[in-house]
Amino acid sequence: MLHIWGRSPLNGHVKISGAKNAALVIMAGALLCPQECRIRNVPSLADVRRMAEILMALGISVQQQDDSLTINAQHIGQSHAPYELVSQLRASFFVVGPLLARLGIARVPLPGGCAIGARPVDLHVRGLQAMGADVQIEHGIVQACVTGSSRRLQGARIYLDYPSVGATETLMMAATLAEGETIIENAAQEPEVVDLANFCRAMGARIRGAGTNTIVILGVPSLHTTDYSIIPDRVEAGTFLVAGAITRSEISLSPVIPDHLTAVLAKLREIGAEIVAESPNHLRILPMQTCLGTDIETLPYPGFPTDMQAQFMALLTLSDGDSVITETVFENRLRHVAELNRMGADVRVKGNHAIVRGVPFLSGAPVVATDLRASAALVLAGLAAEGKTTIQGLQHLDRGYENLESKLKQLGARIQRVVADAETVDLPVLPVSLS
Ligand code: EPZ
Protein backbone atom coordinates (compact mmCIF):
# COMPACT_ATOMS: atom_id res chain seq x y z
CA MET A 1 0.00 0.00 0.00
CA LEU A 2 1.21 3.53 -0.76
CA HIS A 3 0.46 6.48 1.51
CA ILE A 4 0.76 9.90 -0.12
CA TRP A 5 0.32 13.26 1.60
CA GLY A 6 -0.48 15.72 -1.19
CA ARG A 7 0.34 19.28 -2.15
CA SER A 8 4.03 19.28 -1.29
CA PRO A 9 5.98 20.90 -4.14
CA LEU A 10 8.60 18.83 -5.93
CA ASN A 11 12.04 19.92 -7.00
CA GLY A 12 15.29 18.42 -8.17
CA HIS A 13 16.35 15.99 -10.84
CA VAL A 14 15.11 12.49 -11.61
CA LYS A 15 16.98 9.82 -13.58
CA ILE A 16 14.87 8.04 -16.17
CA SER A 17 15.32 4.25 -16.42
CA GLY A 18 15.53 2.08 -19.53
CA ALA A 19 12.30 1.52 -21.44
CA LYS A 20 10.23 -1.41 -20.15
CA ASN A 21 8.56 -1.99 -23.53
CA ALA A 22 11.92 -2.09 -25.30
CA ALA A 23 13.62 -4.28 -22.69
CA LEU A 24 10.92 -6.97 -22.70
CA VAL A 25 10.88 -7.51 -26.46
CA ILE A 26 14.68 -7.20 -26.80
CA MET A 27 15.12 -9.91 -24.15
CA ALA A 28 12.97 -12.15 -26.35
CA GLY A 29 14.97 -11.01 -29.38
CA ALA A 30 18.15 -12.38 -27.75
CA LEU A 31 16.70 -15.85 -28.47
CA LEU A 32 17.49 -15.21 -32.13
CA CYS A 33 21.22 -15.24 -31.38
CA PRO A 34 23.21 -18.48 -30.91
CA GLN A 35 25.87 -16.58 -28.98
CA GLU A 36 25.94 -14.59 -25.76
CA CYS A 37 24.39 -11.09 -25.91
CA ARG A 38 24.68 -8.25 -23.41
CA ILE A 39 21.78 -5.84 -22.91
CA ARG A 40 22.40 -2.67 -20.87
CA ASN A 41 20.17 -0.06 -19.21
CA VAL A 42 17.58 -2.71 -18.34
CA PRO A 43 15.09 -1.40 -15.75
CA SER A 44 14.66 -3.37 -12.54
CA LEU A 45 10.98 -4.31 -12.85
CA ALA A 46 8.76 -7.25 -11.97
CA ASP A 47 7.98 -7.73 -15.68
CA VAL A 48 11.69 -7.92 -16.56
CA ARG A 49 12.26 -10.54 -13.86
CA ARG A 50 9.30 -12.51 -15.19
CA MET A 51 10.60 -12.37 -18.76
CA ALA A 52 13.96 -13.63 -17.51
CA GLU A 53 12.14 -16.51 -15.83
CA ILE A 54 10.46 -17.36 -19.14
CA LEU A 55 13.84 -17.44 -20.91
CA MET A 56 15.35 -19.61 -18.16
CA ALA A 57 12.36 -21.97 -18.44
CA LEU A 58 13.33 -22.40 -22.11
CA GLY A 59 16.81 -23.41 -20.96
CA ILE A 60 18.48 -20.08 -21.70
CA SER A 61 21.08 -18.69 -19.31
CA VAL A 62 20.34 -15.21 -18.03
CA GLN A 63 22.76 -13.37 -15.76
CA GLN A 64 22.29 -9.95 -14.24
CA GLN A 65 25.00 -7.46 -13.30
CA ASP A 66 23.43 -4.20 -12.05
CA ASP A 67 21.36 -2.91 -14.99
CA SER A 68 22.90 -5.28 -17.54
CA LEU A 69 21.70 -8.70 -18.59
CA THR A 70 23.87 -11.34 -20.25
CA ILE A 71 21.72 -13.75 -22.20
CA ASN A 72 23.11 -16.87 -23.86
CA ALA A 73 20.68 -18.65 -26.19
CA GLN A 74 23.27 -20.94 -27.76
CA HIS A 75 21.20 -23.94 -26.68
CA ILE A 76 17.46 -23.53 -26.45
CA GLY A 77 16.54 -26.42 -24.20
CA GLN A 78 12.90 -26.59 -25.11
CA SER A 79 10.31 -24.98 -27.31
CA HIS A 80 7.42 -24.48 -24.95
CA ALA A 81 6.88 -21.84 -22.28
CA PRO A 82 5.06 -22.87 -19.09
CA TYR A 83 1.52 -21.58 -18.54
CA GLU A 84 2.09 -20.38 -14.98
CA LEU A 85 4.76 -17.97 -16.21
CA VAL A 86 3.05 -16.85 -19.44
CA SER A 87 -0.18 -16.11 -17.57
CA GLN A 88 1.71 -13.62 -15.40
CA LEU A 89 3.33 -11.75 -18.28
CA ARG A 90 1.58 -11.17 -21.59
CA ALA A 91 4.86 -10.02 -23.16
CA SER A 92 6.13 -13.62 -22.86
CA PHE A 93 4.26 -14.22 -26.12
CA PHE A 94 7.18 -12.43 -27.77
CA VAL A 95 9.17 -15.70 -27.61
CA VAL A 96 7.00 -17.29 -30.34
CA GLY A 97 8.65 -15.52 -33.29
CA PRO A 98 12.25 -16.19 -32.19
CA LEU A 99 11.49 -19.85 -31.27
CA LEU A 100 9.98 -20.44 -34.72
CA ALA A 101 12.92 -18.70 -36.37
CA ARG A 102 15.54 -20.69 -34.42
CA LEU A 103 13.88 -24.08 -33.85
CA GLY A 104 11.01 -24.18 -36.35
CA ILE A 105 8.62 -24.94 -33.49
CA ALA A 106 6.98 -23.09 -30.58
CA ARG A 107 4.33 -23.92 -28.01
CA VAL A 108 3.24 -20.90 -25.98
CA PRO A 109 0.01 -20.53 -23.97
CA LEU A 110 -2.25 -17.77 -25.21
CA PRO A 111 -1.55 -14.68 -23.13
CA GLY A 112 -4.76 -13.94 -21.27
CA GLY A 113 -6.54 -10.66 -21.51
CA CYS A 114 -5.84 -8.08 -18.87
CA ALA A 115 -7.56 -5.17 -17.20
CA ILE A 116 -7.34 -2.94 -20.27
CA GLY A 117 -8.66 -5.30 -22.89
CA ALA A 118 -8.92 -8.70 -24.55
CA ARG A 119 -5.44 -8.33 -26.06
CA PRO A 120 -5.90 -10.80 -28.95
CA VAL A 121 -2.87 -12.06 -30.91
CA ASP A 122 -4.64 -12.75 -34.21
CA LEU A 123 -2.38 -10.35 -36.14
CA HIS A 124 0.73 -12.12 -34.81
CA VAL A 125 -0.74 -15.53 -35.80
CA ARG A 126 -1.89 -14.51 -39.27
CA GLY A 127 1.49 -12.97 -40.05
CA LEU A 128 3.36 -16.11 -38.98
CA GLN A 129 1.00 -18.22 -41.08
CA ALA A 130 1.79 -15.98 -44.06
CA MET A 131 5.47 -16.84 -43.43
CA GLY A 132 4.76 -20.55 -43.71
CA ALA A 133 4.13 -21.48 -40.10
CA ASP A 134 1.34 -23.92 -39.29
CA VAL A 135 -0.35 -22.40 -36.23
CA GLN A 136 -3.05 -24.20 -34.23
CA ILE A 137 -4.65 -22.90 -31.07
CA GLU A 138 -5.94 -25.72 -28.87
CA HIS A 139 -6.84 -25.66 -25.19
CA GLY A 140 -5.48 -22.14 -24.86
CA ILE A 141 -2.09 -23.03 -26.27
CA VAL A 142 -0.60 -21.66 -29.50
CA GLN A 143 1.17 -24.54 -31.24
CA ALA A 144 3.25 -23.33 -34.16
CA CYS A 145 5.66 -25.18 -36.41
CA VAL A 146 7.37 -24.49 -39.69
CA THR A 147 6.14 -26.75 -42.47
CA GLY A 148 7.98 -27.39 -45.71
CA SER A 149 11.24 -29.14 -46.43
CA SER A 150 13.55 -26.26 -45.56
CA ARG A 151 12.02 -26.00 -42.05
CA ARG A 152 12.71 -22.29 -42.32
CA LEU A 153 10.14 -19.53 -42.29
CA GLN A 154 9.61 -17.95 -45.70
CA GLY A 155 9.70 -14.21 -46.32
CA ALA A 156 6.25 -12.79 -47.09
CA ARG A 157 4.44 -9.52 -47.78
CA ILE A 158 2.23 -8.87 -44.73
CA TYR A 159 -0.33 -6.13 -44.25
CA LEU A 160 -1.36 -5.49 -40.62
CA ASP A 161 -5.04 -4.56 -40.25
CA TYR A 162 -3.95 -2.50 -37.25
CA PRO A 163 -0.44 -1.10 -36.61
CA SER A 164 -0.01 -3.45 -33.66
CA VAL A 165 3.26 -2.93 -31.74
CA GLY A 166 3.48 -6.56 -30.65
CA ALA A 167 2.56 -8.04 -34.02
CA THR A 168 5.11 -5.80 -35.77
CA GLU A 169 7.79 -6.93 -33.30
CA THR A 170 6.89 -10.63 -33.49
CA LEU A 171 6.96 -10.63 -37.31
CA MET A 172 10.12 -8.52 -37.55
CA MET A 173 11.97 -10.96 -35.26
CA ALA A 174 10.67 -14.01 -37.13
CA ALA A 175 11.69 -12.47 -40.46
CA THR A 176 15.33 -11.86 -39.46
CA LEU A 177 16.14 -15.58 -39.99
CA ALA A 178 13.50 -16.37 -42.64
CA GLU A 179 14.33 -17.33 -46.22
CA GLY A 180 13.98 -14.29 -48.46
CA GLU A 181 12.44 -10.88 -47.98
CA THR A 182 9.58 -9.92 -45.66
CA ILE A 183 7.67 -6.67 -46.00
CA ILE A 184 5.47 -5.54 -43.10
CA GLU A 185 2.97 -2.90 -44.20
CA ASN A 186 0.94 -0.70 -41.86
CA ALA A 187 3.66 -1.51 -39.30
CA ALA A 188 3.78 0.12 -35.85
CA GLN A 189 6.23 3.04 -35.65
CA GLU A 190 6.78 3.19 -31.89
CA PRO A 191 10.34 3.97 -30.66
CA GLU A 192 10.44 0.55 -28.98
CA VAL A 193 9.93 -1.08 -32.40
CA VAL A 194 12.90 0.95 -33.69
CA ASP A 195 14.97 -0.05 -30.65
CA LEU A 196 14.25 -3.73 -31.33
CA ALA A 197 15.19 -3.25 -35.01
CA ASN A 198 18.46 -1.56 -34.00
CA PHE A 199 19.22 -4.41 -31.57
CA CYS A 200 18.58 -7.01 -34.31
CA ARG A 201 20.69 -5.01 -36.81
CA ALA A 202 23.49 -4.89 -34.23
CA MET A 203 23.34 -8.72 -34.33
CA GLY A 204 23.64 -8.65 -38.13
CA ALA A 205 19.97 -8.62 -39.17
CA ARG A 206 19.10 -6.86 -42.44
CA ILE A 207 16.22 -4.48 -41.53
CA ARG A 208 15.25 -1.15 -43.05
CA GLY A 209 12.27 1.17 -42.58
CA ALA A 210 11.76 0.62 -38.83
CA GLY A 211 9.99 3.72 -37.51
CA THR A 212 7.97 4.07 -40.70
CA ASN A 213 4.79 2.19 -41.64
CA THR A 214 6.69 -0.16 -43.96
CA ILE A 215 9.51 -2.37 -42.67
CA VAL A 216 11.59 -4.55 -45.02
CA ILE A 217 13.60 -7.46 -43.58
CA LEU A 218 15.97 -9.61 -45.62
CA GLY A 219 16.50 -12.96 -43.86
CA VAL A 220 20.05 -14.07 -43.02
CA PRO A 221 21.26 -17.57 -42.03
CA SER A 222 22.22 -16.59 -38.48
CA LEU A 223 22.92 -13.67 -36.18
CA HIS A 224 25.93 -12.88 -33.96
CA THR A 225 26.61 -11.46 -30.52
CA THR A 226 26.13 -7.82 -29.61
CA ASP A 227 26.36 -5.48 -26.63
CA TYR A 228 23.32 -3.20 -26.76
CA SER A 229 21.90 -0.40 -24.58
CA ILE A 230 18.14 0.15 -24.27
CA ILE A 231 16.54 3.56 -24.96
CA PRO A 232 15.21 5.56 -21.98
CA ASP A 233 11.57 5.03 -21.04
CA ARG A 234 9.42 7.71 -22.71
CA VAL A 235 6.40 6.75 -20.60
CA GLU A 236 8.31 7.10 -17.32
CA ALA A 237 9.63 10.45 -18.58
CA GLY A 238 6.11 11.57 -19.51
CA THR A 239 4.82 10.44 -16.13
CA PHE A 240 7.40 12.58 -14.30
CA LEU A 241 6.66 15.59 -16.52
CA VAL A 242 3.02 15.25 -15.46
CA ALA A 243 4.13 14.90 -11.82
CA GLY A 244 5.87 18.28 -12.17
CA ALA A 245 2.86 19.83 -13.91
CA ILE A 246 0.22 18.54 -11.47
CA THR A 247 2.17 19.79 -8.43
CA ARG A 248 3.00 23.11 -10.15
CA SER A 249 6.71 22.31 -9.51
CA GLU A 250 10.01 22.70 -11.29
CA ILE A 251 11.82 19.42 -11.89
CA SER A 252 14.35 18.20 -14.44
CA LEU A 253 14.76 14.73 -15.91
CA SER A 254 17.33 12.82 -17.95
CA PRO A 255 18.16 10.91 -19.96
CA VAL A 256 15.24 11.52 -22.32
CA ILE A 257 14.86 11.50 -26.10
CA PRO A 258 12.55 14.49 -26.76
CA ASP A 259 11.66 13.18 -30.22
CA HIS A 260 9.97 10.23 -28.49
CA LEU A 261 7.75 12.65 -26.55
CA THR A 262 6.57 15.00 -29.30
CA ALA A 263 2.83 14.45 -28.73
CA VAL A 264 3.15 14.58 -24.93
CA LEU A 265 5.27 17.77 -24.99
CA ALA A 266 2.86 19.40 -27.47
CA LYS A 267 -0.13 18.66 -25.21
CA LEU A 268 1.67 19.82 -22.07
CA ARG A 269 2.58 23.11 -23.76
CA GLU A 270 -0.97 23.45 -25.11
CA ILE A 271 -2.40 23.38 -21.56
CA GLY A 272 0.13 25.93 -20.34
CA ALA A 273 3.27 24.08 -19.28
CA GLU A 274 6.68 25.53 -20.04
CA ILE A 275 9.29 22.90 -20.80
CA VAL A 276 12.89 23.69 -21.73
CA ALA A 277 15.57 21.45 -23.16
CA GLU A 278 18.68 21.93 -21.02
CA SER A 279 20.64 19.67 -23.34
CA PRO A 280 19.74 17.18 -26.11
CA ASN A 281 18.75 14.55 -23.54
CA HIS A 282 17.77 16.69 -20.52
CA LEU A 283 14.34 18.34 -20.04
CA ARG A 284 13.14 20.77 -17.33
CA ILE A 285 9.52 21.66 -16.61
CA LEU A 286 8.91 25.04 -14.95
CA PRO A 287 6.17 25.73 -12.37
CA MET A 288 2.85 25.85 -14.20
CA GLN A 289 0.75 28.96 -13.53
CA THR A 290 -2.52 27.77 -15.03
CA CYS A 291 -3.67 24.49 -16.51
CA LEU A 292 -6.09 24.82 -19.42
CA GLY A 293 -8.43 22.10 -20.60
CA THR A 294 -7.71 20.34 -23.91
CA ASP A 295 -8.90 17.37 -25.95
CA ILE A 296 -6.82 14.22 -26.32
CA GLU A 297 -7.23 11.22 -28.60
CA THR A 298 -4.89 8.26 -28.11
CA LEU A 299 -3.48 6.90 -31.37
CA PRO A 300 -0.68 4.68 -32.62
CA TYR A 301 2.70 6.46 -32.65
CA PRO A 302 3.40 9.27 -33.44
CA GLY A 303 -0.08 10.06 -32.09
CA PHE A 304 -0.70 10.68 -28.38
CA PRO A 305 0.35 7.48 -26.55
CA THR A 306 -2.33 5.39 -24.83
CA ASP A 307 0.25 4.66 -22.10
CA MET A 308 0.09 8.35 -21.09
CA GLN A 309 -3.71 8.69 -21.18
CA ALA A 310 -4.44 7.93 -17.52
CA GLN A 311 -1.63 10.17 -16.27
CA PHE A 312 -2.85 13.06 -18.42
CA MET A 313 -6.42 12.58 -17.22
CA ALA A 314 -5.24 13.00 -13.62
CA LEU A 315 -3.65 16.32 -14.62
CA LEU A 316 -6.72 17.54 -16.55
CA THR A 317 -9.07 16.88 -13.61
CA LEU A 318 -7.51 20.00 -12.05
CA SER A 319 -7.60 22.18 -15.17
CA ASP A 320 -9.49 25.51 -15.45
CA GLY A 321 -11.60 24.18 -18.27
CA ASP A 322 -13.16 21.04 -19.69
CA SER A 323 -11.47 18.25 -21.65
CA VAL A 324 -12.56 15.29 -23.74
CA ILE A 325 -10.25 12.28 -23.65
CA THR A 326 -10.84 9.58 -26.28
CA GLU A 327 -9.15 6.18 -25.88
CA THR A 328 -9.00 4.53 -29.30
CA VAL A 329 -6.27 1.89 -28.77
CA PHE A 330 -7.66 -0.34 -25.97
CA GLU A 331 -11.31 -1.08 -25.33
CA ASN A 332 -11.23 -0.91 -21.54
CA ARG A 333 -8.65 1.62 -20.49
CA LEU A 334 -10.80 4.15 -18.62
CA ARG A 335 -11.06 2.26 -15.35
CA HIS A 336 -9.11 4.92 -13.43
CA VAL A 337 -12.08 7.30 -13.86
CA ALA A 338 -14.03 5.80 -10.95
CA GLU A 339 -11.04 6.08 -8.62
CA LEU A 340 -10.24 9.66 -9.68
CA ASN A 341 -13.90 10.58 -9.04
CA ARG A 342 -13.56 9.18 -5.52
CA MET A 343 -10.88 11.84 -5.05
CA GLY A 344 -13.29 14.59 -6.10
CA ALA A 345 -12.68 14.65 -9.85
CA ASP A 346 -15.63 15.25 -12.17
CA VAL A 347 -15.22 12.77 -15.05
CA ARG A 348 -18.02 11.11 -17.00
CA VAL A 349 -17.47 8.18 -19.35
CA LYS A 350 -19.48 7.91 -22.56
CA GLY A 351 -18.31 4.95 -24.62
CA ASN A 352 -14.58 5.41 -25.20
CA HIS A 353 -14.76 9.10 -24.32
CA ALA A 354 -14.11 10.60 -20.89
CA ILE A 355 -15.55 14.09 -20.36
CA VAL A 356 -13.41 15.82 -17.75
CA ARG A 357 -14.71 18.95 -16.04
CA GLY A 358 -11.92 20.73 -14.20
CA VAL A 359 -12.34 21.06 -10.41
CA PRO A 360 -10.40 23.41 -8.11
CA PHE A 361 -8.94 20.64 -5.98
CA LEU A 362 -8.82 16.89 -5.36
CA SER A 363 -9.07 15.37 -1.90
CA GLY A 364 -7.06 12.39 -0.71
CA ALA A 365 -8.95 9.09 -0.40
CA PRO A 366 -8.35 5.34 -0.27
CA VAL A 367 -8.21 4.10 -3.88
CA VAL A 368 -7.42 0.86 -5.70
CA ALA A 369 -5.24 0.58 -8.82
CA THR A 370 -6.61 -1.55 -11.66
CA ASP A 371 -3.72 -1.58 -14.15
CA LEU A 372 -0.21 -0.27 -14.61
CA ARG A 373 -0.82 3.21 -15.94
CA ALA A 374 -3.98 3.72 -13.87
CA SER A 375 -1.84 3.17 -10.77
CA ALA A 376 0.57 5.87 -11.95
CA ALA A 377 -2.39 8.23 -12.50
CA LEU A 378 -3.56 7.66 -8.92
CA VAL A 379 -0.08 8.42 -7.57
CA LEU A 380 -0.06 11.67 -9.54
CA ALA A 381 -3.54 12.58 -8.27
CA GLY A 382 -2.39 11.81 -4.72
CA LEU A 383 0.58 14.17 -5.09
CA ALA A 384 -1.83 17.01 -5.91
CA ALA A 385 -4.73 16.13 -3.61
CA GLU A 386 -5.41 17.76 -0.24
CA GLY A 387 -4.80 15.32 2.56
CA LYS A 388 -3.79 11.68 2.49
CA THR A 389 -4.31 9.17 -0.32
CA THR A 390 -3.75 5.45 0.16
CA ILE A 391 -3.31 3.30 -2.94
CA GLN A 392 -3.75 -0.48 -3.02
CA GLY A 393 -2.85 -2.74 -5.93
CA LEU A 394 0.84 -1.85 -6.09
CA GLN A 395 1.63 -5.05 -7.99
CA HIS A 396 0.46 -3.13 -11.05
CA LEU A 397 2.78 -0.21 -10.33
CA ASP A 398 5.82 -2.43 -9.70
CA ARG A 399 5.39 -4.05 -13.12
CA GLY A 400 6.25 -0.87 -14.98
CA TYR A 401 8.00 1.67 -12.77
CA GLU A 402 11.45 1.24 -11.22
CA ASN A 403 11.38 2.59 -7.64
CA LEU A 404 8.72 5.18 -8.42
CA GLU A 405 8.15 6.16 -4.81
CA SER A 406 11.88 6.50 -4.01
CA LYS A 407 12.35 8.69 -7.09
CA LEU A 408 9.37 10.82 -6.04
CA LYS A 409 10.62 10.97 -2.44
CA GLN A 410 13.97 12.29 -3.71
CA LEU A 411 12.01 15.08 -5.41
CA GLY A 412 10.37 16.01 -2.12
CA ALA A 413 7.12 14.07 -2.30
CA ARG A 414 5.68 12.83 1.01
CA ILE A 415 5.11 9.23 0.03
CA GLN A 416 5.50 6.03 1.99
CA ARG A 417 5.17 2.39 0.97
CA VAL A 418 3.60 0.28 3.70
CA VAL A 419 3.54 -3.45 3.15
CA ALA A 420 0.15 -4.49 4.44
CA ASP A 421 -0.16 -8.18 5.32
CA ALA A 422 -2.44 -8.95 2.43
CA GLU A 423 0.00 -7.42 0.03
CA THR A 424 3.21 -9.30 0.62
CA VAL A 425 3.58 -10.10 -3.04
CA ASP A 426 6.77 -12.09 -3.34
CA LEU A 427 8.23 -10.86 -6.62
CA PRO A 428 10.46 -13.39 -8.38
CA VAL A 429 14.09 -12.73 -7.55
CA LEU A 430 16.34 -13.29 -10.56
CA PRO A 431 19.20 -15.60 -9.64
CA VAL A 432 22.42 -13.62 -10.15
CA SER A 433 24.02 -16.34 -12.18
CA LEU A 434 22.92 -19.62 -13.60
CA SER A 435 25.32 -22.38 -14.39
C1 EPZ B 1 2.29 -2.72 -26.52
O2 EPZ B 1 1.23 -3.62 -26.27
C3 EPZ B 1 2.76 -2.24 -25.15
N4 EPZ B 1 3.25 -3.38 -24.36
C5 EPZ B 1 1.61 -1.55 -24.42
O6 EPZ B 1 2.12 -1.05 -23.19
C7 EPZ B 1 1.13 -0.37 -25.26
O8 EPZ B 1 0.03 0.24 -24.62
C9 EPZ B 1 0.72 -0.89 -26.65
O10 EPZ B 1 1.83 -1.57 -27.27
C11 EPZ B 1 0.28 0.24 -27.58
O12 EPZ B 1 1.32 1.17 -27.71
C13 EPZ B 1 4.50 -3.87 -24.62
O14 EPZ B 1 5.21 -3.40 -25.50
C15 EPZ B 1 4.95 -5.00 -23.75
P16 EPZ B 1 -0.81 -3.52 -29.71
P17 EPZ B 1 0.65 -4.52 -27.49
O18 EPZ B 1 -0.58 -4.88 -30.25
O19 EPZ B 1 1.76 -4.93 -28.38
C20 EPZ B 1 -5.17 -4.86 -30.91
C21 EPZ B 1 2.08 -0.62 -20.89
O22 EPZ B 1 1.31 0.00 -20.16
N23 EPZ B 1 -4.54 -6.09 -31.42
O24 EPZ B 1 -0.30 -2.33 -30.45
O25 EPZ B 1 -0.21 -5.56 -26.92
C26 EPZ B 1 -5.15 -4.81 -29.39
O27 EPZ B 1 -6.26 -5.52 -28.87
C28 EPZ B 1 1.56 -1.56 -21.97
O29 EPZ B 1 3.35 -0.53 -20.85
C30 EPZ B 1 -5.33 -7.00 -32.13
O31 EPZ B 1 -6.52 -6.80 -32.33
O32 EPZ B 1 -0.26 -3.42 -28.23
C33 EPZ B 1 -5.24 -3.34 -29.10
O34 EPZ B 1 -6.59 -2.93 -29.13
C35 EPZ B 1 0.05 -1.62 -21.95
N36 EPZ B 1 -4.74 -8.15 -32.59
C37 EPZ B 1 -4.49 -2.70 -30.27
O38 EPZ B 1 -4.38 -3.71 -31.28
C39 EPZ B 1 -3.41 -8.43 -32.39
O40 EPZ B 1 -2.93 -9.49 -32.86
C41 EPZ B 1 -3.08 -2.25 -29.91
O42 EPZ B 1 -2.39 -3.37 -29.44
C43 EPZ B 1 -2.63 -7.49 -31.66
C44 EPZ B 1 -3.21 -6.33 -31.19
Of the three residues 229, 248, 275, the one that is the final residue of a domain is 229
Mean pLDDT score, 68-97: 94
> 140-144, 305-309, 343-347 — which is least confidently predicted?
140-144
Q: Does residue 424 sit within a domain?
A: no
Are 266 and 294 a contacting pair, CB within 8 Å? no
Residue 406: pLDDT band with limits 50, 70, 90: very high
Q: Does residue 429 sit within a domain?
A: no
Q: Does residue 434 sit within a domain?
A: no
CA of 167 to the centre of ligand 1 (A): 9
Residues 327 and 252 in one domain: yes
What is the residue range of 391's domain?
2-16+232-417
Residues 126 and 274 in one domain: no
Residues in contact with 421: Cβ distance below 8 Å, sequence separation at least 6, in sequence order: none
Residues 203 and 274 in one domain: no
Determine the pLDDT at residue 254. Answer: 98
Mean pLDDT score, 7-29: 97
Residue 301: pLDDT band with limits 50, 70, 90: very high
Residues 218 and 242 in one domain: no
Of the three residues 229, 252, 267, the one that is the final residue of a domain is 229
pLDDT tens digit sequence for 242-254: 999 999 999 999 9
Residues 167 and 248 in one domain: no
From 45, 161, 162, 335, mutation site for ligand 1 pocket: most ligand atoms within 8 A of C-beta: 162
Sheet of 133-138: strands edge to edge?
105-109, 141-146, 133-138
Q: Does residue 188 sit within a domain?
A: yes
Residues 184 and 48 in one domain: yes
Residues 215 and 264 in one domain: no
CA of 372 to the centre of ligand 1 (A): 13
DSSP states of 338-406: HHHHHTT-EEEEETTEEEEE--S--B--EEE--SHHHHHHHHHHHHHSBSEEEEE-HHHHHHH-SSHHH
CA of 317 to the centre of ligand 1 (A): 26
Residues 78 and 182 in one domain: yes
pLDDT tens digit sequence for 141-173: 999 999 877 889 999 999 999 999 999 999 999
Residues 43 and 130 in one domain: yes
Residues 271 and 358 in one domain: yes
From 24, 86, 137, 164, mutation site for ligand 1 pocket: most ligand atoms within 8 A of C-beta: 164
Q: Does residue 345 sit within a domain?
A: yes
CATH number at residue 70: 3.65.10.10
pLDDT tens digit sequence for 98-119: 999 999 999 999 887 778 888 8
Q: Which of 190, 208, 161, 220 is nearest to 24 (CA)?
A: 190
Determine the pLDDT at residue 111. Answer: 83
CA atoms lying within 13 Å on the CB side of residue 12: 11
As a whole-number percent, the residues of the chain with pLDDT over 90 amount to 89
Considering its fold, how many domains does the chain have in total?
Answer: 2
Q: Does residue 435 sit within a domain?
A: no
Residue 239 has pLDDT above 50, yes or no: yes
Residue 259: pLDDT band with limits 50, 70, 90: very high
Residues 143 and 206 in one domain: yes
Determine the pLDDT at residue 433. Answer: 45
Residue 238: pLDDT band with limits 50, 70, 90: very high
Of the three residues 181, 203, 229, the one that is the final residue of a domain is 229
Residues 216 and 89 in one domain: yes
Q: Does residue 425 sit within a domain?
A: no
Whether ligand 1 lies within 6 angstroms of the CB of 372 is answered as: yes
CA of 393 to the centre of ligand 1 (A): 22
Q: Is 114 a catalytic residue?
A: yes
Are 216 and 207 a contacting pair, CB within 8 Å? yes
